[in-house]
């Protein structure tokens, strides 16, 4: 049995409903928060609250210092070259919209192409659909097959000299790690076609995109909470993730923009904080990252993000976490085999890292979630903001369980027992 001593750090996990202890399996949507994060935010409001980047007095300077220290900490967390590459946002959705408005809108022109995959969350689809319509850009998709494998054999036709941006998720929020969704034979086809020696699909796609002169945006919403991200090693141009999916508060996210792109970034929102000089006729902007942080930011949120990153850095070993999560996934998958009518989504049923989506032929996903809720078990049901993905799989909805650092085998055994009973 996996005994999880970290559970004591999370006050919400001890809450009971209907006499049942909370079993929280919706971590891909948002995670629970440890005392350390709650306390850091609370302490900020109690002892250090003041506006940042504006005040001349001690309290304001201390608040500014704490905020900027988290920027440095975030840069270290993803191995960015400089803290100026880190922009604080409201979350991944906001970050991608900023890239569309502050870079793509000015740098892409009629006839240019953007390439995404059919795995994407709506927040990595809609900004590009909108931009494509406004600017006469072609939005292209790497298709997903019905079995949940990505048809990467289409890549040599899809990725062209006109492709200016390739934007894709590192881990699908429905099917998991994108590398595990590329079949061995498809990958061999790609490495031969491109004479590439890259070891995985993410690296190969970045390499080939750059060779064509395209920039790369990585959606790390589901990857950053579970694995070490190194933007220098990845060589991506943009990377986005959300604090609330990795123990931090809602309303706070991170947008990484590689330094060499900074001269091409224009403000996405206009107002205080991003401006240097204003006359009645015009304004001049500050440099990155202030350029993209107009208005008073979510300072307490950033302080909470800092506490979450400290917790993850000091208490969590990502390799051990991955082993624990994979073991729990395998436990669920083994036991699910004996339940009739459960269909696990995606290929390689036993290659799940931290989330599993499934559908039950005879029961709607909403009914599954509502039934489990009676036992204080939280799972996600619906299309998970990924309708084109579900369209490829020829289903409209699914149930998703997603794990994080506090889940245990006991919780999954109880889930399996209840699912068997329901079916
Ligand atoms: N991309 C992926 C892969 C996601 O899982 C999510 C959240 N479900 C998002 C983007 C959007 O993140 P947020 O709601 O924090 O903006």
Which atom of ligand 1 has the smallest separation from the CA of 173?
Answer: 5
pLDDT of residue 55: 84
Q: Which residues are within 8 A (CB) of 216 and not within 5 positions of it... i.e. 6 or more apart?
A: 165, 166, 167, 205, 206, 209, 210, 235, 236, 237, 238
Instruction: Report how far ligand 1's centroid is from the alpha carbon of 30 (Å).
Output: 9
Tell me the C-alpha distance between 340 and 30, whole Å.
30
Confidence band, pLDDT 50/70/90 cuts, at residue 1: very low
Give the pLDDT mean for 181-201.
97
pLDDT of residue 350: 75
Residue among 100, 121, 124 to mutate when testing ligand 1 (max atoms within 8 A of CB): 121
CB 152 within 8 A of CB 182: yes
Q: Give percent of the chain above pLDDT 70.
A: 99
Instruction: Report how far ligand 1's centroid is from the alpha carbon of 10 (Å).
Output: 23
pLDDT of residue 124: 98
Instruction: Report how far ligand 1's centroid is from the alpha carbon of 385 (Å).
Output: 8
Give the end-to-end CA distance of the chain in Å, rounded to a whole number. Answer: 26
Q: Is a pLDDT exceeding 70 seen at residue 253?
A: yes
- Return the residue whose CA atom lies nearest to atom 5 of ligand 1: 173
- Phi, psi for 121 (deg, rounded to 5): -70, 150
Q: Is a pLDDT exceeding 80 seen at residue 41?
A: yes
pLDDT by residue (tens digit) across 313-372?
999 999 999 999 999 999 999 999 999 899 999 997 678 999 999 999 899 999 999 999
Rg (CA), the chain: 22
């Amino acid at each position: 049995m996996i005994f999880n001593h970290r559970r004591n750090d999370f006050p919400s996990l001890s809450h009971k409903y209907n006499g049942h202890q909370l079993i929280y399996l919706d971590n891909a949507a948002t995670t629970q928060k440890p005392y350390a994060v709650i306390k850091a935010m609370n302490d900020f409001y109690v002892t250090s609250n003041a506006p940042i980047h504006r005040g001349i007095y001690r309290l304001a300077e201390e608040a500014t210092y704490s905020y900027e220290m988290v920027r440095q900490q975030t840069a270290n967390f993803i191995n960015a070259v400089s803290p100026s590459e880190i922009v604080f946002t409201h979350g991944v959705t906001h970050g991608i919209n900023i890239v569309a408005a502050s870079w793509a809108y000015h740098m892409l022109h009629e006839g240019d192409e953007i390439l995404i995959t059919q795995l994407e969350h709506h927040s990595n689809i809609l900004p590009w659909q909108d931009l494509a319509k406004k600017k006469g850009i072609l939005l292209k998709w790497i298709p997903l097959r019905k079995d949940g494998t990505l048809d990467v054999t289409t890549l040599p036709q899809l990725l062209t000299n006109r492709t200016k941006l390739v934007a894709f998720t590192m881990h699908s929020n429905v099917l998991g790690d994108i590398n595990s969704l590329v079949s061995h034979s498809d990958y061999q086809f790609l490495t031969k076609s491109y004479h590439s020696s890259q070891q995985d699909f993410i690296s190969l796609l970045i390499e080939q995109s750059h060779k064509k002169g395209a920039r790369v945006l990585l959606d790390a919403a589901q990857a950053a909470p579970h694995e070490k991200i190194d933007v220098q090693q990845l060589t991506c141009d943009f990377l986005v993730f959300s604090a609330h999916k990795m123990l931090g508060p809602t309303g706070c996210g991170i947008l990484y923009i590689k330094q060499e792109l900074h001269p091409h970034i224009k403000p996405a929102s206009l107002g205080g904080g991003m401006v240097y000089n204003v006359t009645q006729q015009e304004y001049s902007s500050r440099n990155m990252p202030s350029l993209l942080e107009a208005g008073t930011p979510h300072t307490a949120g950033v302080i909470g993000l800092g506490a979450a990153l400290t917790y993850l850095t000091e208490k969590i070993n990502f390799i051990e976490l991955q082993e624990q999560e994979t073991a729990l996934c395998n436990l669920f998958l083994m036991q699910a085999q004996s339940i009739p009518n459960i269909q696990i989504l995606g290929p390689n049923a036993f290659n799940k890292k931290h989330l599993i989506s499934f559908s039950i032929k005879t029961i709607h996903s909403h009914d599954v979630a509502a039934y489990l809720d009676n036992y204080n078990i939280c799972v996600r049901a619906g299309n998970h903001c990924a309708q084109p993905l579900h369209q490829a799989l020829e289903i409209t909805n699914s149930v998703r369980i997603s794990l994080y650092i506090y889940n245990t085998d006991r919780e999954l055994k109880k889930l399996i027992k209840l699912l068997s009973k329901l079916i």
